[in-house]
Amino acid sequence: MGAKEVYRKIKSLEIQGAESIAIYGVKALSLKDISVKELLNLRPTEPMLYNAIKFAEKNGIKKTLDYIKESKKKIIKLAHKKVGKKVFTHCHSSTVVDTLKYAKNHSKKFEVFVSETRPRYQGRKTAEELSRAGIKVTTFVDSAAKSFIKKSDCVFLGMDAIITNNKWKITGIVNKVGSSMFAEIAYDNKIPVYILGNSWKYSPKKLKIEERDLKEIWEKIPKKIKVRNLAFDIIEPKHVKAIITELGILTPKQLMNKAKEEYK
């Protein structure tokens, strides 16, 4: 496999999810024709790819992949403790899916509500994976989410990025478009929102919110109609009960204090 195939798979979402993209990108560093600059420009809203590659350049590919693998195990073991009897989730996060599978295998009884996540329907992927694992799952159009959030005990979301300012304060958590709305609905109904993911998803830089091909929404757009296809939005930290990373189950403020110690 050459560099062009790597670029295509990441850009087309054949490889999707921040962690999967980071792993794929790090492995691609072994290719002779790979360009780190081009690799990093493929998904501008995925800082884990950037952080993983920078770590790999100093510490090697194997050590980087081992860290990501072990971090995920820690997150899953921590997060499964917060699984309620009814869990709402959105889009597809391998960490969320694996946490729910782990909870099922450790005798937790629960069901999952997952939105379809249009326009690419990543929620269907989540539903299929959970169903194959023997977990009761219900899916629905995104606009029906409020009804199912209000029935839930908790909301589990993945994340693509943690946005911080130069004072190590979290100003937002980036995830699939729709996530901020769902987190706010949960918060207003006193339902805890847990964000799951590797701490390497933090970024002190201002991130560009990716916009994707308009044909994903409307194949033949009529004249004079403007269409936007935002891939992500930003969850306000106040709507989040805890961010669960390999560093622990922490509030946004606690996470940044911990990260500041870890990543001097």
Active site residues: 91, 160
Burial (CB count <10 Å: 0-12, 13-18, 19+), residue 161: buried
Give the integer Cα–Cα distance in Å for 198 and 55. 14
Q: Which residue has the tokens 């029935």?
A: 151
Q: Which residue has the tokens 């391998």?
A: 94
Give the integer Cα–Cα distance in Å for 180 and 240. 10
Burial (CB count <10 Å: 0-12, 13-18, 19+), residue 229: middle
Give the integer Cα–Cα distance in Å for 67 and 204. 21
Residue 187 tokens read as 């918060």
The phi, psi pair for 179, rounded to 5°, reads -60, -40
Map residue 140 onto helix, strand or coil.
strand
Spatial contact of 7 and 42, defined as CB atoms under 8 Å apart: yes
Residue 23 tokens read as 């792993």
Map residue 85 onto helix, strand or coil.
coil
Name the nearest CA neighbour of 122 among 228, 53, 199, 212.
212
